[in-house]
Amino acid sequence: MTKLIVATSNPGKLREMQAYLSESEWELSLKPAELDVDETEDTFIGNACLKAAEVAIALNCWAIADDSGLQVDALNGAPGIFSARYASSDKERIDRILHELSDFPDSSQRQAQFVCAVAVARPDGSIAARAEGICRGEILTAPRGTDGFGYDPIFYIPTERLTFAEMSKEAKRSISHRGKAFATISAQLAAIKQ
Ligand code: ITT
């Protein structure tokens, strides 16, 4: 089995990435905490490729990275690629979104989507695979649920009548941005000759 470095410092993302890659024929290993990559690109996929490539080169190993975030229609797509940098804790990030949407009480005005871009880099930093997944939903007026991470308690899926933070791991996987992106990348990873 070839080693594949999971290039994230976000514990919530890490749990999902490991679960979604658990049946792959790759030996997963976590990137060292001190190896951090600045996200200087202006797209999710650009930042996913950058993180995977820089970690791969630094460790001379295959690496996989995820760049993701929330895009709120009424905020012209914000926070988008700045989702992690929108405030300094998950609670403050949620409070900021709720405050910015306070003039938009109707669910029709609170439409949003999560985006996940994922990239796999070879040890020389070249990109071997990439994929993207999108999940549409609505931003609630107050958080609901305790599972998941990040913006999950305010991201509501009307067809399920649940937020991501109220869903089982399996339900989130089957409809989420990351579940979709990893379904595609897993097939690509399986096709790579190790
Ligand atoms: P790494 O770059 O180290 O992977 P990060 O947290 O900086 O970690 P991103 O730059 O991709 O990751 O930022 C993603 C932001 O969007 C971050 O605030 C997450 O909490 C949030 N996010 C991404 N996917 C999410 C999900 O499935 N549920 C809730 N929030 C999510």
Can you spell out the DSSP letters for 1-53? Answer: -EEEEE----HHHHHHHHHHTTTSSEEEEEPPTT-------SSHHHHHHHHHH
Instruction: Give the distance from CA 67 to its chain's centroid.
Output: 5
Q: Which one of 36, 66, 67, 106 is the catalytic residue?
A: 67
In the predicted structure, residue 117 carries a pLDDT above the cut 80 = yes
The residue with greater pLDDT, 52 or 194, is 52
67 CA: nearest ligand 1 atom: 11
Burial environment of residue 136 by CB neighbours within 10 A (0 to 12, 13 to 18, 19 or more): middle
**In CATH, what class is 2-191?**
alpha beta
In the predicted structure, residue 1 carries a pLDDT above the cut 90 = no
Strand ranges (E), 56-148: 62-72, 111-121, 127-139
124 included as an active-site residue = no
Average pLDDT, the chain: 97
Ligand 1 centroid from CA 188, angstroms: 23
**Residue of the nearest CA to atom 16 in ligand 1?**
69
- Is residue 175 within a helix (H) or strand (E), and if so which, with residue range? helix 169-175
Ligand 1 centroid from CA 193, angstroms: 30
Per-residue pLDDT band for 174 (boundaries 50, 70, 90) equals very high
The average pLDDT across 23-32 equals: 95
Could you state, in order of their start, the residue ranges of all structural domains in the chain?
2-191
In the predicted structure, residue 72 carries a pLDDT above the cut 90 = yes
Q: Which of 10, 163, 172 to mutate to test the pocket of ligand 1 (most atoms within 8 A of CB)?
A: 10
The encoded tokens of residue 110 equal 């609170």
The average pLDDT across 156-182 equals: 98
Ligand 1 centroid from CA 93, angstroms: 11
Q: What is the per-residue pLDDT across 91-100, written as a single tens digit (0 to 9) for each?
A: 999 999 999 9
